[in-house]
């Protein structure tokens, strides 16, 4: 990517050696090192995330992929349900491969597939 020098050192130090533990009442979990991701609430984290996912939409052409923060959505329209499903499934396969190659963990938590239908009515006025 071409990042070197002081900026590389800053980013490395920013992402390295981070730990977390959870507390409930006066009980705390053991401390665990965080090996991926960026800290929430920092100014640089969203920038690093956007740099990391910059090439995400490149291989996905059969559907419209929308991105907002760390959420994404695949959208597809068409007249044949089997074609729509095939395009969405192919795109999800490409997305899963990209996530594997880039060490992202993906959560497919789809509870339902929303389908929207557009019905066009033509009105004719008789004179």
Contact 76, 86 (CB under 8 A): no
Phi-psi region for residue 41, left (φ > 0), alpha (ψ -120 to 50) or beta? Answer: left
Element (H, E) at 60: none
For all residues of the chain together, what is the average pLDDT?
Answer: 80
Residues 6+ apart with CB under 8 A from 63: 74, 75, 76, 87, 88, 91
Residue 5 token pair? 């020098």
CA–CA distance, 122 with 87 (Å, rounded to integer): 31
What pTM does this model have? 0.64
pLDDT for 85 equals: 85
Is residue 67 within 8 A of residue 55, CB to CB? The reply is no
- Asked if 34 contacts 20 with a C-beta cutoff of 8 angstroms, the reply is yes
| Structure confidence by residue, pLDDT tens digits, 48-99 | 888 888 887 677 888 888 877 777 777 888 888 888 888 888 888 888 888 8
Helix (H, G, I), strand (E, B) or coil at 19: strand
Both tokens assigned to 64: 């419209």
């Amino acid at each position: 990517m071409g990042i070197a020098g002081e900026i590389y050192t800053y980013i490395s130090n920013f992402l390295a050696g981070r730990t977390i533990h959870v507390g409930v009442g006066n009980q705390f979990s053991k401390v665990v090192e965080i090996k991926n991701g960026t800290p929430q609430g920092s100014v640089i984290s969203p920038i690093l995330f956007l740099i990391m996912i910059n090439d995400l939409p490149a291989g996905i052409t059969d559907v419209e992929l929308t991105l907002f923060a760390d959420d994404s959505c695949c959208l597809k329209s068409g007249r044949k349900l089997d074609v729509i499903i095939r395009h969405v499934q192919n795109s999800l396969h490409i997305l899963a491969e990209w996530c594997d190659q880039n060490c992202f963990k993906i959560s497919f938590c789809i509870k339902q597939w929303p389908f929207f239908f557009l019905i066009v009515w033509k009105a004719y006025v008789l004179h």
